[in-house]
Amino acid sequence: MMCCNVAVVCHEGLFDRWANCRLMTTSKKPWPPSRDEKPVKTCITEAWVYHLARLFVHAIAERSSNVIVTQRDELCVSIAGLCHDLGHGPLSHVFDGPFMLAANPDARWRVWSWKLSILIEGAFCVIEEFWLQHEKGSVLMFDRICKYDFVQKALLEYLDEDDFIFIRELIDPPIERFTEEGKWKYRGRPLEKSFLYDIVSNSIDSVDVDKFDYLLRDSHHAAIAIPFNQNSVMRLMDWMRPLDVIEQFPNGRTLKYSRICFAIKVTDDVDSVGQSRYMLHEKLYSHHTVRAYEYMILQALISADPYLQFEGDDHRLYQLSRTYENLGAFLKTDDSIIQMVENSSLDELKSARRILRDLSFRILPKLIGTVMMRNSNNCTQVVMLLQAF
C-alpha cells in the first residue's frame, strides 16, 4: 500500500511512460519464455523498489538504538526508490549507452542547483553537465515532478529543502563520500546517518534494493534460475543493522562512518547477489543473440535518428539523439520508436525498416569469435584481425 503523500509523486505523464519501456532492452526477442511486460497505466516496477526501500528503512528504524531514523527519513528513502529509474531512455541502456555514444557523443544532461525557492519560481541555474547516465536523468525527472503545484503542496507539508537534496543524493549519489580533506561530502543527511545512502543506490558495493529488484525481475521474466530469491531478500533484511566502520584512504587518513552491515550467518545470501548478477550477464544480458539484436537495433536507430522527431515543451522539434535537451521531448520517447520506424512510409527510413525486417525474421549477424582483451589500446588490431578472418 502506497502512502498518499508518496502516491501523489506518481504523476500520470511521467510514470505511464513505463508501460512502453522495457528494462530488459532487447532480451524479450531472443528469450521466448520472457514475460517482460509491465501492466499499462501502472508504475509497478518502481513501486516494487519503493516497497523494498520502505521495508528496509523501516526495519532499520525499528532496530537501531544508537541512531534515530525519523519518518521524514523513511519518506525520503521511499520516494527515491520510486523515482530512481525514471531517467531511462527507450530500450534502456541501448539508448543511453551505444546509441548516444554513436549518434551524439557530446550529449550531456544539464543538472541544476537545488533551491526550493528557485524551484517554486520556475527558474533554474545550471551548475554542471553530465554524461547521459540514467541516474542524472532521474534527478531531472524528480525535479520536473516537484514543479507541479499539487505535488509541491503534498510534499512541502512533510519535507524541507534538505529533504529534497537528500532524495536527489539517494537517486544519484556521488561516488566518493568524503572530500580529500576528509569532510563528509553529502548535504542531505549528516555523517551519523550515512548508512541511509546504502539502501537505494549503494555507490560503494552496489548491494542495494535496486539490484535486488532487477535480479528478481529479470530472472523471473526470462525464466532463469538464480541463487538469489525473495527469501534471500527477507533474510538480508532480518539480519542487517547500521554499524560504524573505519575506512583507510590512500593518503593514510582513516575515517569512521556508518554502513549497513549483515550478520555472518547470511554471508551466502550476500554472495548470491554477485553470483546471480554474473549468471544473468552470462545467460541473458551478454548472451551472443541478445548482443546481435542490440547491434541491429542500434544500426536501425542510428539510420533513423535524423527523421525521428519529438516536440518539446518549447514546441520545437528534437531528433531522437537530442531529446535529452528538452525533457518534454524526452518523455515522448519509449520503445514504440521501433513501431514508428516499422510503420513509417518515409523513403529516408527505408534502410532502418530493412534492418528491423531482418530482425523480425531473425536474420542476425553470426558470432565468429570472442577475444578477451586486457588492454583497450589493442581494440583496433583485434577488429582488423576479426575482419580478415
* Choice between 64 and 259, residue whose per-residue pLDDT is larger: 259
Concerning whether 51 is annotated as a catalytic residue, the answer is: no
Distance from chain centroid for Cα 198: 15
Residues 276-319: tens digit of each pLDDT: 999 999 999 989 999 999 999 999 999 999 999 999 999 999 99
141 and 178 together in one domain: yes
> How far is the C-alpha of 262 from the C-alpha of 269, rounded, in Å?
10
Q: What percent of the chain has pLDDT over 90?
A: 52
pLDDT given at position 19: 66
- Mean pLDDT (the chain) is 84
Which set of grid coordinates corresponds to residue 362?
531473425
Catalytic annotation, pick one of 84, 88, 134, 221? 134
297 and 149 together in one domain: no
The domain in which residue 159 lies consists of: 2-97+132-285
pLDDT given at position 38: 40
Q: Cα torsion at 351, 353, 359, 365 (round to 10°)?
A: 0
Write down which residue in 285, 317, 341 finishes a domain.
285
281 and 298 together in one domain: no
Flag whether 102 is in a domain. no
372 and 246 together in one domain: no
pLDDT at 341 over 90: yes
Residues 156-190: tens digit of each pLDDT: 889 999 999 999 999 999 888 888 888 899 999 99
Residues β-bridged to residue 256: 246
CATH number at residue 249: 1.10.3210.10
261 and 314 together in one domain: no
pLDDT given at position 127: 43
| Residues 6+ positions from 88 with CB-CB distance below 8 Å | 21, 23, 95, 96, 134, 137, 138
Does residue 180 sit in helix, strand or coil? coil
Question: What is the rounded average pLDDT of the residues 235-248?
Answer: 92
Residues 105-162: tens digit of each pLDDT: 887 766 555 444 444 444 444 445 445 677 888 898 899 888 888 888 888 889 999 9
pLDDT at 95 over 90: no
Residues 362-382: tens digit of each pLDDT: 999 888 777 777 776 666 777
pLDDT given at position 92: 81
> How far is the C-alpha of 49 from the C-alpha of 55, rounded, in Å?
10
